[in-house]
Copies of this chain bind each other. A is one copy, B any other.
């Protein structure tokens, strides 16, 4: 007799094979959930995790060039152009002329950008509390430390 695939009991639970043991899989699942909560938390502001990160980096490094922002965010230079377009259209970021190199832009938050970022940071802190609701303070620290050990050579 040829080997036939045994079909599953349609009433049975779906199983996930070896997936749940994979770090990559659990990380992806966690991120899907995190992304949804993030979007819901910042709902009215139309700010993605990527845009939030860019705002934080620009605030921490006022005057940085787009190429530097691209490196810091792991995005292509061309992708950063639309990202900055987006933030500038909303008057959160300004492209200033950089002192000493007329090719590059010096990025800065506008006062409105700074004010918005303050609000966002409060909301993101709440979001972090929610995602870590089942983790002790010590576990949260451990988690960050372990995540930092994944492909540290690419950071």
Contacts and interface: CB of A to CB of B under 8 A. Distances in A.
Contact of A151 (B14, B30, B72, B149): B30
State the number of copies, please. 2
A85 to B, nearest CB: 21
Nearest to A65: B10
A21 interface: yes
A60 interface: yes
Q: For this complex, into which size category does the number of interface residues on chain A fall?
A: 35 or more
Given A127-B24, A128-B23, A146 B150 contact: no
A146 B151 contact: no
A121 interface: yes
Interface string A28-48: 111111101110000000000
Nearest to A144: B26
Contacts of A143: 23, 26, 143, 146-147
Contact of A62 (B6, B57, B139): B6
Contacts of A139: 146, 149
A81 interface: no
A128 B19 contact: no
25 contacts: A5-B62, A6-B62, A7-B62, A8-B62, A8-B64, A12-B61, A14-B68, A14-B72, A16-B56, A17-B60, A21-B144, A23-B128, A23-B132, A23-B140, A23-B147, A24-B38, A26-B143, A26-B147, A27-B30, A30-B150, A30-B151, A33-B150, A33-B154, A131-B151, A143-B147
